[in-house]
Amino acid sequence: MPEVTSQPGGAGTERESPGPRQSEDRRSPNFEPTDDEKKVVATWLQRVQRAEDETKAKEWRDNLEKLRGYVDGSVHKDKTNDKLVRTNMVFATIAAMMPELYAKNPTIAVTPTDAVSQEELGKVKKFCATAEKVIRKMLVEEGKLKKRAKANIRAACATSFGVLKVIYQKEYRGDPIAVRRIEDTQDNLAKVEALIQQLKKADDPSELAKKRDELQANLKAMAAGNEVRIYKGFVVDRMKSEDFLLLDDNVDEFDEYVDAAALGHKIWMRVAQAKQLFETDLHGATRYGRPRTDAGQKTDDTPADDQFICVVEIWDKENGVVRTTAKGMNRWLREPYAPRHVPQRWYPFYVLGFNLVEGRWRPISDVELLQGLQDEYNTTRTNYADVREKAAPKRIVRKGGNLSEGDVKNIVDSGNKDWIAVEGNPAQPINQDVMQLDGLKIDPAAYDVTMIRNDMDLVSGRSDASRANLIKPKTATEAEIMQEAMQSRVGERRDTHEDLLSEMGEASLEIALRDLTKGEVEQLAGADAQWPENPESVEVIFRMVSVKVRAGSSGKPNQQREREQWSQLMPVIEKTMTSVAELRANGNFDMAEAALELLRETLRRFDEYLDLDSIIPPIERDEEGKPVAQQQAAAQLLQVKQAWQECQE
């Protein structure tokens, strides 16, 4: 029976009981999996195939090339045949939203929760400042979050959803698969080991020479020491939408994917890369000439090591293990294992979708909403260009009239010349041989694309912004309402994306707390970093803080609004600082605390995140929560009264 242990994600972890066969045997060319392993692998691959063959999923996957073609302007379904005027409104609409959704790296704030006592508040705040530096350095900067997140937003707009996979990198073969793994010495060692094994098996002289050259190059790279010896940190992968697998038929809503029994990731690897990573022969693995193609594609002309296999990494949350195999195989590429560096949500996948539909897992992509309008726009603009061309006036010259052939040729070839000399018959008016025929009359209203553009703005969430260019506000109140309307739907998308980034930041802090030592944190955040040294206190500390992306911090900053808001808040803050200082000096601590609470509520309503304690230091309190200064003042007053009585006596 497998042994089951609890995991942070709440699911049991299945650990296969060790038998007579050791995990190293899997590297042997004579290794043969047990019948039980073959059956389990076949069951999971059938589950993967069933997820891929599901009718709606298959239709969507077959439609992806078309959706992406509308974005790059190569696919059209209009009625203009070869006479085309192309204006790529789909790309322009998505590109116009990007600065609003992600213009700069978000501000990930770590703040104390209400459960933190007054005595621990200072220490917890210092830890929060350290945690913010750690997340910013490891996740945002080293993980190249901005580049990956922007690509993920474009994927969500084009294909209906985008997927980021966040992996904690530490051990080359012990970590889950990371496509964009940051290379360190472990990678070079693995390459050298793989090349040595290939040299032992190679018989072709040219192949031997090639492998020796690669081995020498890798040894020189290791000797140079240019790479990091061992990198510890977060790797952010932007997965292709079609490579993400939902392996739970019970999931009907988009946000339920975190609760799915299992999720999968298809990783397309070259054969040589897979052998290097897994240190095993790929028995039975289906070979492909190119990634994401049919298995029937010819691979005869592709070198064996340059062919591709489809590795399937299955995150089995129900049993708490990660399973790794490849399509066509009857064995695991590595023994199923319980991942060590996982957050409470367990899954490393972060899925982004905007146009959610009730009762359906896959959202609607922006391209699906816009493609019909794009075709109509192209048809209208092409027809207008065709009519304009036909509306040009025509000049007619009579053949065999009073003008000679040379005169006719001069008129036809004249172009835009001001003067044309002709001979002809001086006794006959020239207008008898030359005349102008008016072209077709154009009705501009028949080719107006304003309604099409308004519809595009409406379905993409930028309708109010477009109408603001056409409708002039009559009053300042109308102008403010219009400005708020411009930000409403785009703001909702930005809020959705920032919620996803908040989940990533929270998971990153949870993993970092378990693995990083205080010395490693000091290298990231400075010598005054506050970090727990006792692993047992990690869970307690993590529950004392909240990790959130500050609202709107990743979008395009509205500097005018920020200046106006600060000009309104600054006098209020200064007045409160003066008032609190006077009230405390007079011993009226209750009113001073009331003034601070009023200022906190004002900042909350303005959606400002100032740390009041850094501006107006809190007063020291005793074990009962009473101000120490108030007690000291009362004691001093009592001493003064006693001294006065003694003087009177």
Gap between the Cα atoms of 101 and 467, Å rounded: 20
Cβ partners under 8 Å of residue 418, min gap 6: none
More confident residue, 561 or 596: 596
Q: Where are the alpha helices (DSSP H) in 518-558?
A: 518-525, 538-542
CB atoms within 10 A of CB 445: 7
Name the band, by pLDDT with cuts 50, 70 and 90, for residue 8. very low
**Of 142-146, 331-335, 580-584, minimum mean pLDDT range:** 580-584
**Of 10-14, 301-305, 629-633, minimum mean pLDDT range:** 10-14
How many residues are present in the chain?
649
| pLDDT value at residue 633 | 55
More confident residue, 635 or 499: 499
**Of 145-159, 232-246, 467-481, minimum mean pLDDT range:** 467-481
Q: Interior CA angle at 24 toward 21 and 30, to 5°? A: 75
| pLDDT value at residue 386 | 82
* List of E strands, 152-255: 162-169, 233-239, 244-246
| pLDDT value at residue 24 | 47
More confident residue, 580 or 55: 55
Q: 386: helix, coil or strand? A: helix
Q: Is the pLDDT of residue 168 over 80?
A: yes
User: Residue 391's closest CA among 442, 435, 437?
Assistant: 442
Cross-strand pairs, 314: 264, 323
More confident residue, 258 or 279: 258
| pLDDT value at residue 352 | 93
Q: What is the pLDDT of residues 549-577, one digit of tens each?
A: 877 667 655 555 666 667 777 787 778 87
Q: Interior CA angle at 168 toward 164 and 169, to 5°? A: 115
Gap between the Cα atoms of 370 and 382, Å rounded: 18
334, 282 contact by CB (below 8 A): no
Q: Is the pLDDT of residue 119 over 70?
A: yes
Strand 3-6 vs strand 394-397: parallel, antiparallel, or unpaired? unpaired
What is the percent of the chain with per-residue pLDDT over 70, rounded to a whole number?
Answer: 72
User: Residue 460's closest CA among 362, 352, 365?
Assistant: 365
**Of 49-53, 367-371, 441-445, minimum mean pLDDT range:** 441-445
Mean pLDDT of 428-457: 78
Dig out the tokens for 23 from the structure.
């995990």
Gap between the Cα atoms of 461 and 631, Å rounded: 59
Cβ partners under 8 Å of residue 69, min gap 6: 75
Q: What is the pLDDT of residues 90-107, one digit of tens each?
A: 888 888 888 888 888 888
CB atoms within 10 A of CB 244: 19
| pLDDT value at residue 41 | 92
Amino acid (1-letter code) at residue 505:
G
Q: Where are the alpha helices (DSSP H) in 4-144?
A: 35-53, 55-72, 89-101, 118-135
CB atoms within 10 A of CB 214: 16
| pLDDT value at residue 164 | 94
Q: Is the pLDDT of residue 260 over 80?
A: yes
* Mean of all residue pLDDT scores within the chain: 77
Gap between the Cα atoms of 586 and 594, Å rounded: 15
* List of E strands, 213-320: 233-239, 244-246, 262-270, 308-316
Distances (CA, A) of 83 to 347, 376, 381, 445, 591: 50, 14, 10, 21, 77
More confident residue, 467 or 197: 197
Q: Is the pLDDT of residue 464 over 50?
A: no
Q: What is the pLDDT of residues 275-319, one digit of tens each?
A: 888 878 888 889 888 887 776 666 667 777 788 999 999 999 999
Dig out the tokens for 403 from the structure.
């003008």
Q: What is the pLDDT of residues 341-384, one digit of tens each?
A: 888 889 999 999 998 888 889 999 999 999 888 888 888 888 88
